[in-house]
Amino acid sequence: MIRQHLFSVRNISRDFFQEIFSLASSIEENPSDFADKCKGKILATLFFEPSTRTRLSFESAMLRLGGKILGFTSSKSSSAVKGESIADTIRMINHYAHIAVIRHYIEGISQIAEEFATIPFISGGTGTQEHPTQALLDLYTIQKEFKKIDNLKIGVMGDLLYGRTIPSLLFSLAKYNNVEINLISPPALNLRKNITLRLQEMNCEYSTFENLREIIDELDVLYVTRIQKERFPDPTDYERLKGIYQINPDDIEKAKENMIILHPLPRVDEIDYKIDKLKHSRYFDQAQNGVWIRMALILKYLEIA
C-alpha cells in the first residue's frame, strides 16, 4: 500500500499546519499523556548528509512516544558505498521500520519514495530544495510567540540561494494572510529562479534588501541562515562571500521590543554570540520546539492521532 509521505510543504494545507501545531501544543503541555503512543513502532533515520538537530530531535521524539529507532548517520556507513541504489535501500527499510525520515542530496528522492516506499517517508532535508519539518517548527515557534502568523512582517536573511530551509519557510508563509516577506541578502545569494517562479505561482510577494539596517525597525521576526559552504560548486566563491553578513547587537538596536530572531542552526558566524543573551533570541527555543512538532508528525503520519 502506498502511504502518504512528506517531502514538500507545498502539498500540505494551512489546516494541516494548524492541526500539527495544535497536537504539538497538547504534547508540549502534557508529554506524559503521549509516552506510550508509539509502543511497538520503529522509526528509521536514514541520513545521507550530516545532521545534528533534525536526526536527534526525530529520535528523541520517537523515544518520547515509547517507540524505537534505528538508522545510519552517513552514506559512508550505509550500503550506498557498495553501490546500492536508494530505491533498494527504501525497499529494505519498508520491512525494518514503520516510518522513516530521510535526508538525501538527490532532488528526485520524493519520486523514488513515492514509487518504492510502503511506509510513510518524511524528508529531513532534501538537497538545496526543501526542509519541510523545519518550516513546521519555524512557524510553530512564530505562532507560539505572536499567537498568529497572519499580518506579521518577516525578514529572511542569509543564503537564499542554497539554504533549503528558506524555500520551505517561504512556501509555508505564503499560505497565511498578509504576511509581509522581506528578503535580505547579498545579490550573489539571491533566491534561485525556480523558487521565485513557484512563489509567483503561489501569489507570494516579497521585497528585497541588501542591508538589514534598511528594514530592521519594521520586522516582527528576523530569520537568519548560515552560508551553505558545502553547496558551492566553486570553493573560491564561498571564500569570497564568507562573513559577508554578520549581525551583532548594534545591527538590531532599532528593532521592535518584541521582535524575535530565529535560525534553523547550525550557526557559523552570522549571529554574534552576544545576541544569545538579548530578549530577541529564540533559536534555541525553536530547536526545542522541533521535538514537539516531530512527535506530532510521527503520530499523524502513523495515523495514531
Residues with a catalytic annotation lie at 53-54, 82, 103, 131
Among 37, 41, 53, 280, binds ligand NCD (CB under 6 A): 53
Q: How far is the CB of 92 from ligand NCD (least distance, A)?
A: 25
Nearer of residues 104 and 226 to ligand NCD, judged by Cβ: 226
Nearer of residues 5 and 294 to ligand NCD, judged by Cβ: 294
Give me the residue whose beta carbon is nearest to ligand NCD: 264
Nearer of residues 116 and 165 to ligand NCD, judged by Cβ: 165
Looking only at residues 168 through 207 of this chain, which bind ligand NCD when binding is defined by CB under 6 A? none
Peptide bond into 266 cis (omega under 30): yes
One symbol per residue from 249 to 278: x for binding ligand NCD (CB under 6 A), - otherwise; what is it? ---------------xxx------------
For cell 537568519, the residue is: 224
Taking a C-beta distance cutoff of 8 angstroms, is the pair 43, 67 a contact? yes
CB count within 10 Å of CB 90 equals 22
Looking only at residues 62 through 121 of this chain, which bind ligand NCD when binding is defined by CB under 6 A? none
Q: How far is the CB of 294 from ligand NCD (least distance, A)?
A: 11
Q: How far is the CB of 60 from ligand NCD (least distance, A)?
A: 14
Total residues binding ligand NCD (CB under 6 A): 13
Among 126, 225, 286, 289, binds ligand NCD (CB under 6 A): 225
Looking only at residues 126 through 165 of this chain, which bind ligand NCD when binding is defined by CB under 6 A? 131, 134, 163-165
Nearer of residues 57 and 143 to ligand NCD, judged by Cβ: 57
Nearer of residues 123 and 143 to ligand NCD, judged by Cβ: 123
Q: Which of 90, 137, 132, 133 is nearest to 109 (CA)?
A: 90
Q: Which residues bind ligand NCD (CB under 6 A)?
A: 53-54, 125, 131, 134, 163-165, 225-226, 264-266
